[in-house]
Each structure stands twice: as C-alpha cells, then as structure tokens.
Amino acid sequence: MWWLSALGGAVALLTRLLAADDAAAVIERIAPVLVFLVAVTVIAGLADAAKVFEVAAREAAHLGRGKTWRLWLLVVTLATALTIVLSLDTCAVLLTPVVLAMARQLDIPPKLFAFTTVWLAGTASLLLPVSNLTNLLALHRFDQLGLGLRDYVGLSWRPAVAAVLITVVVLALLFHRDLRRSYVVPPTPGIDDKVLFWGAAGVCLALGPAFVTGVNVAWPASAGALVLLLLFAVRRPTELTWALLPWRLVVTVIGLFLVVAALTAHGLEHLLDDVAGTTPGGLLADLRLTGTGALGANAVDNLPAYLAMEPVAATEGRRMMLLLIGVNCGCLLTLWGALATLLWRDRCIAAGVHISWWSFLWRGLVLTPLVLTGTVLALNLT
C-alpha cells in the first residue's frame, strides 16, 4: 500500500492538482504526528525486544489461573491500556503476535485473541489524543476552537468507555464457547537483560502521565525513544537497525494526505457537506455524520477519511468528536480501514492465523452498528 500512496502523492504534485504551497502546509501540519509515530514505534519495537510485552502477556496467563475467560479479560485490559497510552498501532502490531503465540501454546483458538487486539485497537483509541493519529490531527482543530486537552477528554471519555464496553460484550457473545476452555499455566519467560527490561518498562509506564500533561506528545515520545536508543546502544547495539523505523508508514501517511488535500481543493468538501450534513439536528444528524466518517474509513482508510471530512466537522468540538468516533470505531469492516488493521493482518499471517476478508467483515457488521450507536448515545449524555 505504501508505494500506491507514494504514487498518488507524487501524481498530485507533478500534475499540480495540489499547489506546492498547499503541500508544504500539509507536511508542516502533520510533521508532529509523524515524529510521534516514528518515536512511539521505536519505543514499542525496543520494548518488544526487551520482552516487556511477552512478560506482560505471560503474567496475564498466570493471573488467569487456567481459565480462558480470566486470561481474556486480562488481555482486554492490556490491549485497552496499550491502545490508550501507546496508540492503536502498538496494540495491533506488537501485542497481536504475543497473544497469538500464547494462544497456540495454551491450545486456545487464536481468533478470540486476534479479534480482541484488532477491535480494541480501534474502539479503545478515542480517550486520549495519543491513542490514534486521527486524534492527534484533530488537536489542531480543537486548538482553533479554543479547546484544550481537558476539553477533549471531557468530550471523549463517555464515548470511549461505551466503545470498550460494547466491544467486550460483543466479543464475549461471539466467542463464548472459546471462553469456557481451560489451559495449563505456562512458566514465566526468562529475562535476558534486566536493565533493558526495566528501562523499557519504565519508559512505557512514564509515557502515560507524560502524554496527559498537555505538552505536545512528540516531545515525551521523542525523549522516551532517545532514552531507549541510548540504553540499547550500550547494552545491545545489535538491536538498533533501520527496521525499527516505520518508513513505509511515514510514506503512506504523507502520500494519503497529499492525495486527500488535492481532492479537497477540487470540490470534495462540498460533496461531503451534502452527504454528512453541516448543521446539528439531534441524534439522527449525529449518526449521519459519524456514519459517513465510518463509511469513508472503510472505503479509503481512516486517516484520509478524517482529513477529507475535517472541514465538515470543524465548526464545534462535539462534531469533531462525532467524526473521530466514526473514523476510529467504525473502521472495522474492511481489512484496509486503518493502517493498524493492515499491519495486524500481516502479523496474523506470520503467526499462521488466516483471517479472510469475509470473516473480518461479518463480525465487523455485528460490532460496528452497535458500537457507533452506543458511542453516539454516550456522547449525547454530555
């Protein structure tokens, strides 16, 4: 997908569908988001190398005491926490192979844990700006509306809680037979280097409080990445490879944004005004805006869908939150609805777990209408 995105961005520039000044403005706006993306990916990769996530998953297996339903609830907690604090990509990309390997070792059907990680990566990504790249992009508009971090969380916390609870209930209903299983508790994995382990764990734990201080999230993420890079340079330099840098994701994000900016400059905004509606009008109008965002995310990925619809929702903070609900929680129908979903599927394939497009779609058709309706209703309680 990255090369297709790069090609689209290049065509937009070379054909002058997007002026050079407008392209520079787009790059300037998304630069902090890209810095955060690179930094948090480096942190997650090095934390994974230090066995932070593997130990966390195995400790969950111990705490589950042989009961799959207890283990699953602990994985739910871990997936939700990782998504909220370290973004949906960390949950979908790094936690997925750990829990799939754990499921294989415990002889538990892996789809229970596969869908748990990918669904919560989407539906748990509303609460904080750092939880999703779309949220980080939305901060620009929130600032223009005179709304800060406290205002954002004031709007997001009720829908965020509703989204997670609905997701957990749907998962429990769909996989109720698997949740009745028992397993033999495995031994805790050994830690090769306790300095690296505790250093990486400390950085991950420190990021949560740092991200809610109101400071631009690129700064604490960059500081955490630098600490771990220095620590690994001293203790295990062989882990420091170019593979840590998510350059394909960066290229994909830049290309998608250039393409959408070009389309927006040539009338896309007016079309979306007609589809999504431009004025508040009660619950149905809210669902219309959220539903349009969800359809866009499933059609072309949630990042460009957000950028395309942002002008439609930018009149007030509440409408911005309705859009974020749509693109974050509603992107679970297609395997390309979010970059994290594409990466999640790659991890599933690498682990020998096949998730067909139909298997993903029909389960998404159960969850998505419920989670979108429930979160919009929760937002209306404010």
Quick one: average pLDDT of 147-169? 96
Q: Are 194 and 236 in contact (CB under 8 A)?
A: no
Confidence of residue 252 (pLDDT cuts 50, 70, 90): confident
Confidence of residue 165 (pLDDT cuts 50, 70, 90): very high
Nearest-CA neighbor of 345 among 355, 332, 333?
A: 355
pLDDT of residue 81: 92
Residue-wise pLDDT tens digits, 130-157 = 899 899 889 989 999 999 989 999 999 9
Mean pLDDT (the chain) is 87
Q: Are 138 and 320 in contact (CB under 8 A)?
A: yes
Confidence of residue 223 (pLDDT cuts 50, 70, 90): very high
Residue 174 exposed, middle or buried by CB count within 10 Å (0-12, 13-18, 19+): middle
Residue-wise pLDDT tens digits, 3-17 = 787 888 888 888 888
User: Does the pLDDT value for residue 370 go beyond 90?
Assistant: yes
pLDDT of residue 65: 85
- Retrieve residue 275's tokens: 């589809």
Quick one: average pLDDT of 250-266? 81
Quick one: average pLDDT of 11-35? 86
**Stronger pLDDT, 364 or 130, i.e. the higher one:** 364
pLDDT of residue 34: 85
**Stronger pLDDT, 280 or 183, i.e. the higher one:** 183
Chain centroid to CA 275: 26
Confidence of residue 276 (pLDDT cuts 50, 70, 90): low
Quick one: average pLDDT of 317-322? 94
Query: E strands, 45-174, where?
Result: none
User: Does the pLDDT value for residue 177 go beyond 90?
Assistant: yes
Find residue 67's DSSP bridge partners.
Answer: 182
Find residue 182's DSSP bridge partners.
Answer: 67
283-315 CB burial, b ≥16 within 10 A, e <16: eebbbbbbbbbbbbbbebbbbbbbbbbbbbbbe
Residue-wise pLDDT tens digits, 49-84 = 898 877 877 788 888 888 999 999 999 998 999 899
User: Does the pLDDT value for residue 96 go beyond 80?
Assistant: yes
- Quick one: what percent of the chain has pLDDT higher than 70? 94
pLDDT of residue 61: 81
User: Does the pLDDT value for residue 364 go beyond 90?
Assistant: yes
Number of residues that this document lists for the chain: 382
**In the chain, where are the structural domains located?**
2-379
